[in-house]
Structure 1
Amino acid sequence: MLRNSAPPLARHGHDPAAFVEIGSLTKVLTGTVLVRMARAGLLGLDDAVEQWLPTPPGSGITLRNLADHTSGLQRLPPGLTGPDPYAAFDGDALQALLGRLGEVTVRQPGQEAEYSNLGYAVLGAALVSAAGRPYEELVREHVLTPLGVDEVTAHPPADRLLGARSLFGGERDRWTLDGPMLPAGGLWATPRALATVVTGLLLERTLGEPAPSWQSAGPLLWHNGATRDASAFTGAVPRTGNWVLVHRLGGSPDRTDKIGLGLLAAGNTAEQDEGERA
């Protein structure tokens, strides 16, 4: 647990310097790549998806729609089953799905938001197509290097990897997220590196205005993420400078969100009380 108002707190073997799964927090990096590439003139936020991928023309889906979850695409690729549901969703499966993208929509593009991991798999593929370079290279060039961060990767060193363990101490199996789903939720990071990313993007605005990947609730900008055995929550209130990052192994993702939101609420209350005393 990291936040602006207290020293880092690590319990039960957690370590701010160990690599952990960040799940859908990957999406804020993917969205930032999109915005940075658009500013560089490599693509347009409102480019149709078929401009960069072999999808049927006239879908009405833009890259911006994919980033802010208004593409109308369903939450997950069809046919996911088993204890490792994403393992079968490889590059060939994505290419086949692109050819019938209109069949996996649940509403018209540009309307009400529908959170979509599938949408971010498609967005990541579009970014790779537009740049002609691997996804991880794009994240490094457009996000990590400008922020001075290097402890974010799809393939962490084995001796610094921290994952959930079974009752008998063995390492639990993890979902396969280093294929097409990587841009949606497959990155690993150290909590200390992720904290630098969050504060750089939301508070210092080192890379400009935050990407449309971030969720908002009043003054709060936030995102969460969950894999089979890990969950994370991060959020910031730019007006006050309060921020928090919570990562947990095991337990309910909802509980992780509640911890993070509670810490932010407490920090904002303390800020208000301090202002009233001044």
Structure 2
Amino acid sequence: MKKIYIFFFLLVGFTNLYGQELEIKEELTNEEDEIIDLLLGEESIEDFIKSATNIQFLYFTVDYNNNTYFSGRDIGTDQFNTNPQISYINSNGFFAGLSSIYFSQFSPKWDYVAATVGYGKNFGKDKKYRWTSSYAKYFFTDNTDDNPFKNAFSLGLEVDNKSKTLGTELTTTYLFGDDESFQIVSSSYAQIDLHKSKNYHLKFRPQLNIIVADQTIQLAQINNGSISYITNNDFGLLNTQLQVPLQLNVSDFDFEFGFTVNVPSPLEGESNLGITTNFNFSIGYLLEL
């Protein structure tokens, strides 16, 4: 049976990657520690310039989700998804990366490859504010005209407290290609340190995401495992999402086990939308170049 669902265009947010905390083993040199502090907004640019030059990292991550939802909506297909990603991070504020996503029941299973480049800087008192900009290009496996958004340009503004235990980010994204759309995502987090030592850091980091979008983003139809797209022209609240992850940083490795709750908001023509949940697990590795 043909099923119609809303496809919220999943930006594989390198803006979020740049904003996340990267834990490095304490045996690193003071210069490397200060570089990571700058990336996290914990040190001033002046102190950084005095102590470091151009330092570069690669960050590898793989994320597994046991259920797949689009804009928090259950599309009636029981499947998992996996998202591998490799990111380049430069201490001067430049970042870039490649990512893809695998759906266990779709055809083709590998939906797209995304290439992203961006730049960000800290500013303001104590450098607690940060702006980022990025551009993403999507290369879909299915080379048809059914994927109207092949480009995305994002601008983000984030503010954190000095200890980086509370923060919020507002990101606006313009999607374009054969069609165009616009979305706003508000993300707020709180961090609770459960244990921190020389060798590892265990923390609890819940995050609330509120997604508002122009519903010309996409309507998709699934028929026999294949996807085709139509559009919707409504603007409003699309989904409210609560992420509850437990994060463990050991040396250059990051591990996360999380639980996500979606509360999708009905659009015109939708009804009886239920709350959806899923578990996720991810592993990351930071490599200095």
Which structure shows the higher strand fraction?
A: 2
More helix by share: 1
* Greater relative contact order (Cα < 8 A, sep 6+): 1
Query: Given the two structures, how large is their TM-score scaled by the length of structure 1?
Result: 0.27
TM-score when normalising by structure 2: 0.27
